[in-house]
Amino acid sequence: MTTTSPLLSRPGAVDGGGADAGVASHYGDPFREQRALADGQALVDLSHRGVVTVSGPDRLSWLNTLSSQLLLGLAPGQSSETLLLTVQGRIEYSAHVVDDGNTTWLVTEGGEAGPLAAWLERMKFMLRVEVADATPQWAVLGATRALPELGEDVLVWEDPWPAVGAGGYAYSMVDDGRHPGRDRPWFEYLVPRADLDAVVSASGLALAGSLAAEALRIAAWRPRPGFETDEKTIPHELDLMRTAVHLAKGCYKGQETVARVHNLGHPPRRLTFLHLDGSQHTLPAPGSAVLSEGRTVGRVTSVGHHYEMGPIALAVLKRSVGASADLLVQDGEEAYSAGQEVIVAPDAGQVVGRATGFLRSPR
């Protein structure tokens, strides 16, 4: 479903493109908006996101059997993240999960709500669950802090990133206390779509565009479905084992691959953070090739201009690329030198019995 936000009528609003079409990329001053968002003084219009609802007494136990996260006993207002995988362990759907005591709400990328609802409908069998694509009725707003300005009754999803959840595992090399995601708390608010404009106006907060939100997300090393993922992505490659996978829960589709790679093998690719050469007046496009010693070793997945760090990107590289390798991003005729900051460790996986190494389980 493609939606066009009423907030695009605000002064200075410029429509985003690609996956962020239908909401504003900025409202005239992307860097000012980014600072305001980072300081908790702005909202981001995420009304192009999809919303799927699952109601009924069997909803949590049913979703638990289908997905990678332990959802049994999810308390009202508690947030989680889960993945629906293929038999080969590849990411098929990703959802932000929050339950209100009667309904489980799944927030997805914009084009995923309809297919996800249809997929869940086929899996119902005789269980007491009801699935609906609620995107036409509900919209999403994003912020970097809890917002009492939106009212006490507004349902909110709080991003668990980058904490290592129960049953999760950190594949990144940085100590959790120094993870850059700590500097970017994230909240997503569900509001009636018909009230979106009124809710934003009543909050008294400024608006920031998707460019601001994306730059902060990239700086936090936070993967986004459809950007860092493709048809071959497994959770280990993106450090999603920390927030979206429970290694000790019961069976679900794709579990064998998740366990096998974690315990006995290595993911074929790894997520990395790039500091891009800022001397050019352009940025490479997502999908641009990443080269090392003249060979293509990966691709850029997300690009942004951070108000403090300058041009930054996320990229997915072959596991064999060294942590200290010199990298070059090639976008057509333009080349951008790139300094690498490793996110997923080159030795990720094969962790059983290891007393040392980069990988850490939660304390």
The per-residue pLDDT for 197 is 97
Instruction: Round to whole Å and give the CA distance between 232 and 152.
Output: 41
What does the pLDDT profile of the chain (363 residues) look like in tens digits?
567 999 999 999 999 999 999 999 999 999 999 999 999 999 999 999 999 999 999 999 999 999 999 999 999 999 999 999 999 999 999 999 999 999 999 999 999 999 999 999 999 988 999 999 999 999 999 999 999 988 888 999 999 999 999 999 999 878 767 999 999 999 999 999 999 999 999 999 999 999 999 999 999 999 999 999 999 999 999 999 999 999 999 899 999 999 999 999 999 999 999 999 988 889 999 999 999 999 999 999 999 999 999 999 999 999 999 999 999 999 999 999 999 999 998 888 776 434 334 444 443
The per-residue pLDDT for 22 is 97
The per-residue pLDDT for 1 is 53
Burial bucket for residue 35 (CB in 10 Å: 0-12, 13-18, 19+):
middle
pTM listed for this prediction = 0.95
Dihedral sign for Cα 245, 247, 252, 253, please.
positive
**List of domains in the chain:** 6-219 (3.30.1360.120)
254 touches 261 (CB < 8 A): no
Instruction: Round to whole Å and give the CA distance between 143 and 295.
Output: 40
Instruction: Round to whole Å and give the CA distance between 169 and 331.
Output: 34
The per-residue pLDDT for 175 is 74
Instruction: Round to whole Å and give the CA distance between 54 and 52.
Output: 7
